Amino acid sequence: MTKKMKKKLIRIIISFILLVIAFILKLDNTIINNILFIISYLIVGYDIILKALRNITRGKVFDENFLMTIATIGAFFISEFPEAVAVMLFYQVGELFQSYAVDKSRKSVASLMDIRPDYANLYHDKKTERVDPNKVKVGYIILIKPGEKIPLDGIVIEGSSTLNTLALTGEAVPRSISVNDEVLSGCINNEGILKVKVTKEFGKSTVSKILDLVENASSRKSKSENFISKFAKYYTPIVVIIAILLALIPPLLTDTNFKTWLYRALSFLVVSCPCALVISIPLSFFAGIGASSRIGVLVKGSNYLEALANTEIVVCDKTGTLTEGIFEVQKVNPIGYSKEDLLRYTSYAESYSNHPIALSIKEAYGKDINEKQVTKTKELKGKGIIAKVESKEVLVGNEKLMIEYNIDYIKSNDIGTVIYIAIDKKYAGSITISDKIKEDAYKAVKEFRENNVKKIVMLTGDREEISKNVSKELKLDKYYAELLPQDKVKKVESLMKEKSESGKLVFIGDGINDAPVLALSDIGVAMGGLGSDAAIEAADIVIMTDEPSKLANAIKISKKTMQIVKENIIFAITVKILVLLLSAVGIATMWAAVFADVGVSVIAIINALRILRVKKD
């Protein structure tokens, strides 16, 4: 409980004691009794009155503070002192519950927000100096001791340890790291002392980007939240006008007492407070975003969480999403060259590439590459690379590249990704590389089906044979192979027409090469976003690990969130209308009205917090 909440609780207790004393003593001196009631009222309600006055000066007249102030002061005016105090007292109890609920839901993302580093140990001249992470530049050396947060992204240059990545990925299993491994800000060093060479300034680091994402998530409102905001804007002035008419018209048309109808009008005002909706709906989405963050899924706004609940089509990239993305050379088929020479020319041509296929070829070659021997490297998107290696023109790529340059190549029937090589316009052989399906991909497809996803589609630039095999193995609905980046965009545009009007298409990829498709989809999901700047910026949702099944869990959370939002809207509006009618005809007293208002708010808030119990199976 925060300090502000504790102060409010103390005021509520003191006010309640004074209210009980005034009731128990039943002093003949009405003035003393009334003074006790007024003191009790001011202790518990002064902040509500001040807020109402402050908002009036700002032009925000019709809010719950105004309604409570008018209703309670009106009760004093008709000599209903005990009810005036009770209304304000129980309203503040409801506010305390709301504050507690919001505080609890914020703690669900507290572990994520706790990744912000307080300092960095700058290492120079064999000494360490504790400095602000913002002052550390690229290339500086920092020291990370056991138990400390890693303040900036970098490369380990000395030491080995295990890292706790729970706050970033939602996974409890520590990750082993040693010299030359990349470390990301926000992780916690478990064991040894690490020396790290900084590769990104704090403002561009992983931790900074994630914190910015989470802190700005509330700025993107869902349709439900926007509806409630508009509803409250028009609803409150209407009920005030109705209350005024209720207090004035019946006494003028009938012989009934003005005080009786004023009392009914004040009860009407009390129960009309839209607190249950105004608080519980945003809280539901906040809790949903918090529950997602705990499993390593960062949702950039409640609008995306709401849209996710209506997912009809899931479109997946293949490499790195459904497959491991860790390629290994399986076969080298040289023509006119030795295996070593073919690997050497291919490795040199791919020397500047960080593509998984290029990395696998360089690993298979296993020797140092003299980059001075490589000149005029040119990449052809979706086809391959052309480079000058030792004064020879080397073409490395797929069949499209061979056809474009009129190379008389021999088509390989090997299962896997086949790279064709031509040296000085003559076919030099092929290299077969294979990738394997992730275990988690099987689980993801199964859980998508369980969440009523109607169609699962795979898009890939890989060969037809490989794509067909992956699609069949995972039991996907459709696949499209041998696609260039622009072809993927066209396929997604086509798939967007197949969904219903309310349905959503979700694309999940690595967020680096798929930025156009991520932007085109209803919801773009970047997977394996840990450390990927492009992923965090391009996508609407970022999965911090390489597990596609986490998207299925996020869909489950979003569906639960929307179910609870609908429950709260229906419940709150139904009870409000019922008690409003009862207040208007004099059946519901002001006591009943305040219990209805506070009770509905508390029940709606407790219901919203159920979202935090939705966990990964």
Residue 615 has pLDDT above 60, yes or no: no
Q: What average pLDDT score do residues 210-214 get?
A: 63
Q: What average pLDDT score do residues 369-375 get?
A: 83
Average pLDDT, the chain: 83
- The architecture of the domain spanning 328-434 is 3-Layer(aba) Sandwich (3.40)
pLDDT at 332: 93
Residue 109 has pLDDT above 80, yes or no: no
Q: What average pLDDT score do residues 36-56 get?
A: 89
Residue 307 has pLDDT above 60, yes or no: yes
Q: Where are the domains of the chain?
A: 3-108+221-285+560-613, 120-151+153-199, 299-324+437-544, 328-434
Residue 616 has pLDDT above 50, yes or no: no
Residue 432 φ/ψ region, left for φ over 0, alpha for ψ in the -120 to 50 degree band, beta for the rest: beta
Q: What average pLDDT score do residues 327-334 get?
A: 88
Contact 273/64 with Cβ under 8 angstroms? Answer: yes
Q: What average pLDDT score do residues 4-9 get?
A: 86
Residue 51 has pLDDT above 70, yes or no: yes
* Close Cβ partners of 181 (under 8 Å, ≥ 6 residues apart): 155, 156
Q: Which residues pair with 130 in a beta bridge?
A: 121
pLDDT at 479: 94
* Close Cβ partners of 606 (under 8 Å, ≥ 6 residues apart): 101
Residue 447 has pLDDT above 80, yes or no: yes
Active-site position among 317, 462, 522, 546: 317
Contact 141/196 with Cβ under 8 angstroms? Answer: yes
Instruction: Find, among 456, 463, 504, 457, the residue nearest to 483 by Cα.
Output: 463
Confidence of residue 617 (pLDDT cuts 50, 70, 90): very low
Q: What average pLDDT score do residues 12-31 get?
A: 80
Percent share of the chain, pLDDT over 70: 88
DSSP string, 445-463: HHHHHHTT--EEEEE-SS-
From residue 597, how far is each of 101, 170, 274, 604 by CA, in Å? Answer: 17, 38, 8, 11
Pick the CATH number of 299-324+437-544 from 2.40.50.180, 3.40.50.1000, 1.10.760.10, 3.40.640.10: 3.40.50.1000
Q: What average pLDDT score do residues 243-251 get?
A: 86
Q: Which residue has the tokens 């992204």?
A: 153
Residue 470 has pLDDT above 70, yes or no: yes
Range in 345-349, 585-589, 603-607 the model is least confident about: 585-589
What's the rounded Cα separation, in Å, for the pair 261 and 180? Answer: 79
What's the rounded Cα separation, in Å, for the pair 281 and 278? Answer: 6
Q: What average pLDDT score do residues 555-569 get?
A: 91
Instruction: Find, among 516, 466, 491, the residue nearest to 319 by Cα.
Output: 466
pLDDT at 213: 61
pLDDT at 534: 60
Q: Which residue has the tokens 């050396």?
A: 141
Confidence of residue 599 (pLDDT cuts 50, 70, 90): confident
* Close Cβ partners of 290 (under 8 Å, ≥ 6 residues apart): 105, 106, 108, 109, 612
As given in the structure block, the two tokens for residue 168 are: 């970033």
Across 596-605, b (16+ Cβ under 10 Å) vs e yields bbbbbbbbbb
pLDDT at 106: 58
Residue 122 has pLDDT above 60, yes or no: yes
pLDDT at 543: 87
Confidence of residue 419 (pLDDT cuts 50, 70, 90): very high
Q: What average pLDDT score do residues 397-424 get?
A: 89
Confidence of residue 140 (pLDDT cuts 50, 70, 90): very high
Angle at 251 between CA 249 and CA 255, to 5 degrees: 140
Q: What average pLDDT score do residues 452-460 get?
A: 93
Contact 508/314 with Cβ under 8 angstroms? Answer: yes
Residue 82 has pLDDT above 50, yes or no: yes
Residue 531 has pLDDT above 90, yes or no: no
Confidence of residue 59 (pLDDT cuts 50, 70, 90): confident
Confidence of residue 574 (pLDDT cuts 50, 70, 90): confident
Q: What average pLDDT score do residues 544-571 get?
A: 90
Q: Identify whether 440 is a catalytic site residue.
A: no
Angle at 356 between CA 438 and CA 487, to 5 degrees: 85
Contact 148/190 with Cβ under 8 angstroms? Answer: no
Across 464-490, b (16+ Cβ under 10 Å) vs e yields eebbeebbeebebeebbbbbeeeebbe
Contact 461/482 with Cβ under 8 angstroms? Answer: yes
Residue 215 has pLDDT above 60, yes or no: no
Q: What average pLDDT score do residues 299-312 get?
A: 89
- The architecture of the domain spanning 120-151+153-199 is Distorted Sandwich (2.70)
E strand intervals along 477-602: 478-480, 504-509, 523-527, 541-543
Confidence of residue 588 (pLDDT cuts 50, 70, 90): confident
What's the rounded Cα separation, in Å, for the pair 262 and 268? Answer: 10
DSSP string, 326-339: --EEEEEEESSS-H
Residue 444 has pLDDT above 80, yes or no: yes
Contact 545/536 with Cβ under 8 angstroms? Answer: no
